[in-house]
Amino acid sequence: MSAVARETAVEVVDLAVTPLRELNQRLHDLAADPSGPRRWRVVNPNGAHAIACGLDADVEVEVEGHAGYYCAGMNKQATVRVHGNAGTGLAENMMSGLVVVDGNVSQSAGATGRGGLLVVRGDTSARCGISMKGIDIVVRGSVGHMSAFMAQTGRLVVCGDAGDALGDSIYEARLYVRGSVAGLGADCMEKELRDEHVAELRELLTRAGCDDVDPAEFRRYGSARQLYTFKVDNVGAY
């Protein structure tokens, strides 16, 4: 097969007849075999767990339906699109690449993510972006409570509302919320939205396909920097 044909051809895998382990093994093999298919379409996922988990190749995977836990976990380089909803731990520990979900996502989306871009067109549940370490997350809808808990670096953009305890024990991640915030967590505070932040937001929203959203309508949140080291005066906040 020519290089052009390989780039345009789509490998279709039906999880109603093909074991998930076999699909993931074929996708993992692409890290050492650049001659394999570059575009994949997964049908009948039926909420299976760990679909397209652990990829390390510049490929595109389209999941036609709902995915279960840990879809696209530990992703590197790949583009994974879920045309449905996704369960707990979507894109957990993501390193690079792009993960997009058309629907809603359960808790801990993008947890511990170190790089890449995660886009959720709907809402996410609790703990979105927990302990994020460099990932960028754009949520078109709202996020649940304890989102960005212990977020270290990276950016979380919420076009809707945020639940209680946003950014609890946050380090240096940047949080942007367009709607209301039910409550801020320990050591999280609202900060000035300056021109450079509006420019940063505009770039992120454009990459996420949300360029119809005005970046000037957001508020910025980050660390008050009072919990980096133990202080006895703050013992009640730990």
pLDDT in tens, 56-90: 999 999 999 999 999 999 999 999 999 999 999 99
Contact yes or no for 172/152 (Cβ under 8 A)? yes
Mean pLDDT for the chain overall: 94
Contact by Cβ (8 Å): 34, 7: no
Give 230: exposed, middle or buried? Use CB within 10 Å, 0-12, 13-18, 19+.
exposed
Q: How far, in Å, CA of 68 to CA of 30, rounded?
A: 23
Question: Looking at the predicted structure, is the pLDDT value of residue 233 above 90?
Answer: no
Which structure tokens are listed for 145? 């409570």
Say which CATH superfamily domain 3-210+220-227 falls into.
Answer: Glutamate synthase, alpha subunit, C-terminal domain (2.160.20.60)
- Residues in CB range of 107: below 8 A, 6 or more apart: 88, 89, 124, 125, 126, 127, 128, 144
pLDDT in tens, 100-155: 999 999 999 999 999 999 999 999 999 999 999 999 999 999 999 999 999 999 99
Q: CB–CB of 112/90 below 8 Å?
A: no
Q: Round to whole Å and give the CA distance between 130 and 113.
A: 9
* Residue entry with tokens 């074991």: 19
